[in-house]
C-alpha cells in the first residue's frame, strides 16, 4: 500500500536518485502462525482485534538490526502528539526513523512500552490503519531532505514553515476568464513583489488561520499591516481577539 504511493512522483524519484531511502516491512511475514496471523481478540472482551506483540517485535528487531545507530521508533496513533510542520522539520534532521503502523483496535500495549520512543498522530480523528498516516509523515519529511526538491526555498517559503500561510500563486495566462494577474507580479520589480507577497501571506493567515498569528515571528511592518487589515474590516472574532492580545506583548 505504501510502496504504491511513495514510489511514485517526487518521493519515488528522490528514492531512485538516492536522496532518501524508504523501506517497507510486512509484519505478517514475521508471524509464526501457520496462517500468518498477527492479531487476536482483546483480553477483557470487547469488539475488534488487537495486533500481537511478538510478530511486531520480530519485525522491528529485524529492521533495527539493519541500522548502525538506533533510529527513533515512532508509533502512528490517534493518541500521539499531532503532527506539525515544526515536528516535520525536526524529523527531517534525524538520520533515520521507523514508523510502526497499527491496525484493528490497535497494538498490544506491552509492545508499545518496550519499543516505542513516541506516538505521533496526523490529526484528531481515527483511521483504520497507520499506513496512510505513515505515508503522510514520510511525504512531509522527505520533501525537506537534501536534494529532494530543487531548492530549499520550495519549502521554506511555504505555509507553516515560518508560522504563516503562503501568499497566492498565479501562472499563465495573464488573463483568465476576464481575471487579470495582479499587476505587481508582472513588472519584474523584485522588492515590490516580495513586499506584496509578504502582505498577501499576512492576509491569508489573518483571514484563514488567525490563531497562527499568535506565534508567528512578525516584524514592525507586519504588525502595522495587520492593524490596517483589522481597522479595514473591523473583524472581531474571538480568535482574532486572542491573536491581538498576543501581538501586543
Grid cell at residue 236: 472581531
By CB under 6 A, tell whether 133 contacts ligand SAM.
yes
> Rg for the chain (alpha carbons), in Å?
23
Which residues within the stretch 85-104 sit at the binding site for ligand SAM (CB under 6 A)? 101-103
Report if residue 106 touches ligand SAM, rule: CB under 6 A. Answer: yes
Yes or no: say if 111 and 56 are a contact pair by the CB < 8 Å rule. Answer: yes
Cβ distance 148 to 10 under 8 Å? yes
* Location of C-alpha cell 475488534: 48
Stretch that binds ligand SAM, among 23-31, 70-78, 160-168, 184-192 (CB under 6 A): 70-78
When asked if residue 127 is in the footprint of ligand SAM (CB under 6 A), the reply is: yes
Min dist CB 125 to ligand SAM, Å, is 6
Contact of 20 with 11, CB cutoff 8 Å:
yes
Query: What residues pair up with 74 in beta bridges, in sequence order?
Result: 99, 118
In the complex, the smallest distance separating the C-beta of residue 164 from ligand SAM, rounded to whole angstroms, is 25
Give the shortest CB-120-to-ligand SAM separation in angstroms.
7
Task: Give the one residue of 9, 41, 66, 79 binding ligand SAM; rule: CB under 6 A.
Answer: 79
Q: Does 123 bind ligand SAM (CB under 6 A)?
A: yes
Q: Is 126 in the site for ligand SAM (CB under 6 A)?
A: yes
Closer by beta carbon to ligand SAM, 25 or else 223? 25
Q: Kindly report the three-state secondary structure assignment for every residue of 58-82.
A: HHHHHHHCCCCCCCEEEEEEEEEEE
Window contacting ligand SAM (CB under 6 A); options: 24-32, 123-131, 150-158, 218-226: 123-131
d(CA 150, CA 127): 33
Cα gap 160→205, rounded to integer Å: 10
Choose between 71 and 80: whose C-beta lies nearer to ligand SAM. 80
CB-side neighbour CA atoms (13 Å) of 113: 3
Q: Which residues bind ligand SAM (CB under 6 A)?
A: 76-79, 101-103, 105-107, 121-123, 125-130, 133
Amino acid at each position: 500500500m505504501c510502496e504504491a504511493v511513495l514510489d511514485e512522483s517526487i518521493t519515488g524519484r528522490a528514492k531512485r536518485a538516492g536522496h532518501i531511502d524508504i523501506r517497507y516491512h510486512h509484519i505478517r511475514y514475521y508471524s509464526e502462525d501457520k496462517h500468518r496471523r498477527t492479531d487476536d481478540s482483546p483480553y477483557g472482551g470487547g469488539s475488534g482485534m488487537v495486533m500481537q506483540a511478538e510478530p511486531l517485535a520480530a519485525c522491528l528487531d529485524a529492521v533495527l538490526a539493519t541500522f548502525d545507530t538506533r533510529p527513533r521508533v515512532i508509533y502512528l496513533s490517534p493518541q500521539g502528539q499531532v503532527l506539525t510542520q515544526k515536528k516535520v522539520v525536526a524529523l527531517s534532521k534525524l538520520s533515520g526513523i521507523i514508523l510502526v503502523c497499527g491496525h484493528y483496535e490497535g497494538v498490544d500495549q506491552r509492545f508499545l512500552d518496550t519499543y516505542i520512543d513516541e506516538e505521533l498522530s496526523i490529526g484528531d480523528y481515527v483511521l483504520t490503519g497507520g499506513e496512510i498516516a505513515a505515508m503522510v509523515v514520510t511525504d512531509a519529511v522527505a520533501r525537506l531532505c537534501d536534494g529532494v526538491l530543487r531548492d530549499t526555498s520550495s519549502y521554506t517559503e511555504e505555509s507553516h514553515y515560518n508560522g504563516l500561510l503562503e501568499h497566492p500563486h498565479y501562472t499563465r495566462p495573464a488573463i483568465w476568464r476576464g481575471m487579470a494577474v495582479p499587476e505587481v507580479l508582472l513588472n519584474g520589480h523584485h522588492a515590490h513583489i516580495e513586499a506584496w507577497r509578504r502582505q498577501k501571506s499576512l492576509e491569508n493567515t489573518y483571514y484563514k488561520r488567525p490563531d497562527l498569528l499568535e506565534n508567528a515571528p512578525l516584524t514592525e511592518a507586519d504588525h502595522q499591516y495587520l492593524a490596517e487589515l483589522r481597522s479595514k474590516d473591523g473583524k472581531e472574532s474571538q480568535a482574532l481577539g486572542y491573536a491581538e492580545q498576543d501581538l501586543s506583548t
